[in-house]
């Protein structure tokens, strides 16, 4: 495999890996090959120097791997250490453990020389169990000798007993004698043992010692991301990149952290910087395409994947990703076809996915992609056949079953249900790797049983899957509550007249924001408006979240800071720059991200003339509809248990009451039940509020060929129907915790 197509990061990882295995010659050759291509690479220089010096203990830092979907899987492991060879290479063991015992700076306090010599002898003879037992006995007699827990920890690490190694390293906290290497080793061992809070504590100690150490910052950032503290993790990556703006590993890990936390603008900036540094690195160009897609910059994604294909056709060498796996051109064709579907270029999408199937007619991802294209053009029968073909090739992929279940109407006795039950039963409940599969098969089975009215089985699977999803996301409602409190603290002292004036810039597009609780009818309302000749339905845009997220985070730290009009104008300017990148021609643009209800103060401050459509729907109907859906977005973590869901709903009502009092007359309330029962009356009122003339096709929204990317895509393709807000009643006996939480909110339970 040609080295020129590998990124610096992958080569550094490989060098560190072979060094860890004891092949110093090969590691040195790899570092030299990096320096031939990139003579100024400081990390390779340091690692090579460290190899030459035969240093033993070095920081072990985290890395971030990318799965097949491009989603980040952050983990602490030794493979990414590129500043020095991995710690504890036992060749010979006396230089890796016994040396610290004998050096003057580690004299061991009052540990007598003959005891040290005896311990060194055990280590040199590689009698590790005896050495550990003897060191523990010594520690009882010499509790003030910090070298003993250090040696015990390092010896446990040699035995791959990461948890024991980390626990003994913690003794150094008591002695206040920990070195940078101790804390980094502790972090790595706790990380390998998946004890991330303690890994983070060790990294914080390391950060106190050397706040500008690149490995410390990268470890700190990655550990925070493992714990879903993305805002803090991104801050640490930013600190690192101020010190080393061209640190490729940090840039690419930052991209994944930003994508995971839906900070897409920063993700795009970081991957574009990486691409600028290595424009011919195919793996980075692919990552650029993935990032454009997740940021909904679909035209850029299409152009990027087309470039990848051209690059791959131009080389006869195999191309590898950062983990050493071969990248095949048919996979890029599938990615391109997906981007074409997202940009509503369906015909070309079919042409491109056909190219993938010509190269590999047994590729499940290609059939799933074609199925999604068929679903987008409303060829449901063909879509189901494609999804079934994908499953027939790889029936063990839970995501494919979940997609299939969303498009199929199941019947009692359906063979597919039995297969999913069997697959779910094979999952190991103690294995983290099976967690996502259990979640997806659970939601798929819940939907299958719900299709033919098996309420008890449906609820069983929905509730089990929701519980697992909640456990995975580690959602903290109290933190959510604090964010809402910060909003009210920031906006309460503001006098609307001071800033609610038209912005200095005359924007070309007129914005319509459709918001409310998820599953409240935002997709239906947008489809109605998009059917108008002057309106472009842009879908769920994350732009407002991106342009206000950091500001809200800072307000949480400094709530006394006051918002100024210039801040609102800046938010509006950045937001409209993002809108311009959508490249749509219509003068009106809708943004139907439901959660914009929490950012309404920023929206009205930046866009005083924007139209705000607030969707209202039966509270239990909304909450039940949320509970039974699998939402990949982290922002939906509140929806996976009834008590939290009910509490969140009340937070939503409270903040909406706050906005309505703050901005009287600015928020248009549209009730879902009224819209479905009085379609024409409510549609006319809606268009009039938005300043739009009546157009008959707005009543025929179901004929709109626009592709909808939300869970409501089937509903908006049907004529208006009533009764969906009553679907929860079949499950009422299971909903007691939700109903109890919504007492006083729902009209039936006041």
Residue with tokens 């949320």: 626
Instruction: Look at residue 356 in the predicted model and tell me its pLDDT.
Output: 97
Distance CA 670, CA 13 (A): 55
- Could you tell me if 264 and 581 are in contact, meaning their C-beta atoms sit under 8 angstroms apart? no
pLDDT tens-place string over residues 562-587: 777 788 888 999 999 889 888 788 99
Three-state DSSP class for residue 702: helix
748 band by pLDDT with thresholds 50, 70 and 90: low
163 band by pLDDT with thresholds 50, 70 and 90: confident
Q: What are phi and psi of 514, to 5 degrees?
A: -110, 120
Range among 6-10, 232-236, 495-499 with highest mean pLDDT value: 232-236
Question: How would DSSP label each residue in 532-591?
Answer: STTEEE--S--HHHHHHHHHHHHHHH-TTPPP-HHHHHHHHHHHHHHHHTT----SEEEE
- Which element (helix H / strand E) includes 667? strand 667-671
The candidate with the shortest Cα–Cα distance to 270, out of 283, 256, 290, is 256
Range among 56-70, 543-557, 617-631 with highest mean pLDDT value: 617-631
More reliable by pLDDT, 747 or 638: 638
Whether 609 has a pLDDT exceeding 60, the answer reads yes
Mean pLDDT of 135-148: 84
248 band by pLDDT with thresholds 50, 70 and 90: very high
Question: C-alpha angle 447/671/444, rounded to 5°?
Answer: 10
442: which residues sit within 8 A by CB, 6+ positions away?
424, 461, 462, 464, 465, 466, 468
pLDDT tens-place string over residues 717-744: 555 556 677 889 999 999 999 999 998 8
Whether 388 has a pLDDT exceeding 50, the answer reads yes
Instruction: Look at residue 19 in the predicted model and tell me its pLDDT.
Output: 63
Can you list the positions of beta strands (E) in 32-140? 62-66, 72-76
602 band by pLDDT with thresholds 50, 70 and 90: very high
Mean pLDDT of 256-285: 93
Q: What are phi and psi of 30, to 5 degrees?
A: -65, -45
- What is the side-by-side order of every strand in the sheet holding 667-671? 535-537, 588-591, 510-515, 611-616, 667-671
pTM, 2 dp: 0.76
Q: Provide the token pair at 711.
A: 């869970």
| Helix locations, 588-678, DSSP H | 600-606, 619-627, 642-662, 672-677
Distance CA 519, CA 623 (A): 8
- State yes or no: cis peptide before 92, omega within 30 of 0: yes
Whether 45 has a pLDDT exceeding 90, the answer reads no
Residue with tokens 């994508």: 259
557: which residues sit within 8 A by CB, 6+ positions away?
none
Question: C-alpha angle 106/108/112, rounded to 5°?
Answer: 130
Strand-pair partners of 671:
616
More reliable by pLDDT, 495 or 207: 207
Distance CA 67, CA 257 (A): 13
Instruction: Look at residue 300 in the predicted model and tell me its pLDDT.
Output: 94
More reliable by pLDDT, 53 or 324: 324
Mean pLDDT of the chain: 84
Instruction: Look at residue 657 in the predicted model and tell me its pLDDT.
Output: 96
Instruction: Look at residue 500 in the predicted model and tell me its pLDDT.
Output: 63
pLDDT tens-place string over residues 651-667: 999 999 999 999 999 99
Whether 74 has a pLDDT exceeding 50, the answer reads no
Strand-pair partners of 514:
613
Three-state DSSP class for residue 378: coil
Mean pLDDT of 430-447: 89
Q: Provide the token pair at 667.
A: 């928020």
Instruction: Look at residue 689 in the predicted model and tell me its pLDDT.
Output: 97
Share of the chain above pLDDT 90, in %: 53
Residue 462 CB neighbour total at 10 angstroms = 25
Three-state DSSP class for residue 68: coil
Give the distance, in angstroms, between the CA of residue 175 and the centroid of all CA atoms in the same chain.
39
- Could you tell me if 76 and 219 are in contact, meaning their C-beta atoms sit under 8 angstroms apart? yes
Mean pLDDT of 295-302: 92
Domains along the chain with CATH numbers: 3-80 (no CATH), 93-327 (1.25.40.10), 395-474 (no CATH), 477-749 (3.40.50.300)
98: which residues sit within 8 A by CB, 6+ positions away?
119, 120, 123, 124
What's the maximum distance between 2 C-alpha atoms anywhere in the chain? 96
Given CA atoms 617, 621, 625, 626 in this order, what sign does their dihedral have? positive
Mean pLDDT of 304-312: 97
36: which residues sit within 8 A by CB, 6+ positions away?
none
Instruction: Look at residue 102 in the predicted model and tell me its pLDDT.
Output: 54
Distance CA 648, CA 423 (A): 34
Question: How would DSSP label each residue in 403-464?
Answer: HHHHH----TT-HHHHHHHHHHHTS-TT-GGGHHHHHHHHHHHHHHHHHTT-HHHHHHHHHH
Whether 648 has a pLDDT exceeding 50, the answer reads yes
Three-state DSSP class for residue 181: helix
Instruction: Look at residue 740 in the predicted model and tell me its pLDDT.
Output: 93
2 band by pLDDT with thresholds 50, 70 and 90: very low
Instruction: Look at residue 654 in the predicted model and tell me its pLDDT.
Output: 96
**Cα dist from 53 to 24, 104, 150, 372, whole Å:** 12, 19, 22, 56
Q: CA end-to-end span of the chain, whole Å?
A: 69
Angle 679-689/522-530 helices, nearest 10 degrees?
A: 70
Distance CA 98, CA 92 (A): 10
439 band by pLDDT with thresholds 50, 70 and 90: very high
Give the burial class of 399: count Cβ atoms within 10 A of its Cβ; 0-12 exposed, 13-18 middle, 19 or more buried.
Answer: middle
485: which residues sit within 8 A by CB, 6+ positions away?
none
pLDDT tens-place string over residues 192-229: 878 899 899 989 999 999 999 999 999 999 999 988 88
């Amino acid at each position: 495999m040609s080295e020129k197509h590998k990124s610096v990061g992958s080569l550094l990882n490989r060098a560190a890996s072979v060094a860890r295995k004891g092949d110093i010659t090969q590691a040195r050759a790899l570092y030299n090959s990096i320096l031939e291509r990139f003579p100024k690479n400081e990390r390779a220089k340091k690692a090579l120097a460290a190899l030459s010096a035969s240093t033993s203990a070095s920081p072990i830092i985290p890395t971030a791997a990318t799965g097949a979907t491009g989603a980040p899987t952050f983990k602490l492991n030794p493979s990414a250490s590129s500043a020095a060879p991995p710690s504890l290479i036992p060749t010979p063991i006396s230089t890796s453990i016994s040396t610290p015992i004998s050096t003057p700076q580690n004299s061991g306090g009052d540990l007598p020389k003959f005891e040290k010599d005896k311990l060194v002898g055990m280590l040199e003879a590689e009698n590790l169990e005896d050495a550990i037992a003897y060191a523990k006995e010594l520690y009882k007699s010499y509790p003030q000798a910090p070298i003993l827990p250090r040696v015990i920890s390092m010896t446990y690490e040699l035995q791959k007993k990461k948890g024991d190694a980390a626990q003994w390293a913690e003794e150094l906290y008591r002695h206040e004698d920990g070195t940078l290497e101790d804390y980094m080793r502790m972090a790595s061992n706790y990380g390998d043992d998946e004890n991330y809070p303690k890994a983070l504590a060790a990294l914080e100690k390391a950060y106190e010692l050397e706040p500008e150490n690149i490995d410390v910052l990268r470890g700190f950032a990655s550990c925070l991301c493992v714990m879903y503290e993305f805002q803090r993790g991104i801050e640490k990556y930013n600190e690192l990149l101020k010190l080393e703006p061209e640190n490729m590993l940090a840039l690419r890990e930052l991209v994944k952290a930003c994508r995971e936390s839906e900070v897409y603008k920063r993700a795009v900036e970081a991957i574009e910087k990486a691409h600028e540094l290595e424009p011919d690195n195919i793996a980075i160009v692919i990552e650029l395409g993935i990032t454009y897609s997740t940021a909904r910059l679909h035209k850029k994604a299409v152009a990027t994947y087309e470039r990848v294909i051209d690059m791959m056709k131009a080389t006869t060498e195999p191309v590898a990703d950062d983990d050493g796996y071969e990248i095949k051109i048919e996979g890029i064709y599938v990615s391109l076809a997906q981007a074409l579907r997202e940009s509503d270029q369906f015909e070309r999408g079919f042409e491109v996915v056909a190219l993938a199937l010509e190269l590999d007619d047994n590729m499940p991802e290609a059939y799933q992609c074609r199925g999604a294209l068929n679903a987008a053009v409303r060829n449901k029968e063909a879509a189901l056949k494609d999804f079934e073909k994908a499953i027939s090739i790889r029936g063990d992929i839970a995501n494919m079953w979940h997609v299939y279940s969303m498009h199929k109407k199941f019947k009692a006795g359906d063979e597919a249900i039995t297969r999913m039950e069997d697959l779910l039963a094979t999952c190991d409940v103690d294995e983290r790797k099976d967690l996502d599969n259990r979640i997806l098969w659970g939601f798929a089975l819940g939907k299958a049983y719900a299709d033919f009215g098996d309420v008890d089985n449906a609820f069983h699977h929905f509730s089990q899957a929701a519980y697992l999803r909640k456990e995975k996301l580690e959602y903290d409602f109290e933190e959510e509550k604090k964010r809402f409190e910060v909003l009210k603290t920031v906006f309460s002292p503001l006098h609307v007249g001071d800033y609610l004036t038209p912005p200095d810039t005359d924007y070309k597009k007129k914005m319509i924001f459709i918001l409310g609780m998820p599953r409240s009818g935002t997709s239906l309302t947008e489809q109605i408006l998009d059917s108008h000749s002057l309106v472009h339905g842009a879908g769920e845009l994350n732009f407002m979240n991106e342009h206000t997220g950091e500001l809200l985070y800072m307000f949480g730290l400094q709530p006394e800071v006051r918002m100024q009009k210039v801040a609102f104008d800046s938010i509006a300017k950045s937001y409209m720059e993002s809108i311009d990148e959508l490249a749509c021609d219509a003068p009106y643009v809708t943004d139907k991200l439901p959660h914009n209800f929490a950012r309404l103060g920023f929206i009205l401050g930046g866009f005083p003339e924007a139209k705000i459509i607030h969707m209202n729907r039966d509270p239990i109907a909304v909450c039940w509809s949320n509970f039974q859906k699998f939402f990949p977005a982290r922002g939906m973590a509140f929806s996976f248990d009834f008590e939290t869901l009910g509490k969140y709903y009340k937070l939503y009502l409270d903040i909406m009451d706050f906005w309505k009092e703050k901005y009287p007359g600015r928020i248009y309330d549209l009730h879902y039940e009224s819209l479905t029962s009085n379609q024409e009356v409510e549609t006319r009122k809606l268009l009039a509020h938005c300043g739009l003339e009546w157009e008959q096709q707005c009543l025929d929204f179901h004929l709109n060929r626009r592709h909808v990317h939300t869970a409501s895509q089937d509903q908006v393709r049907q004529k208006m129907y009533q009764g969906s807000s009553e679907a929860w009643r079949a499950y009422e006996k299971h909903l007691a915790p939700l109903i109890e939480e919504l007492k006083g909110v729902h009209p039936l339970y006041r």
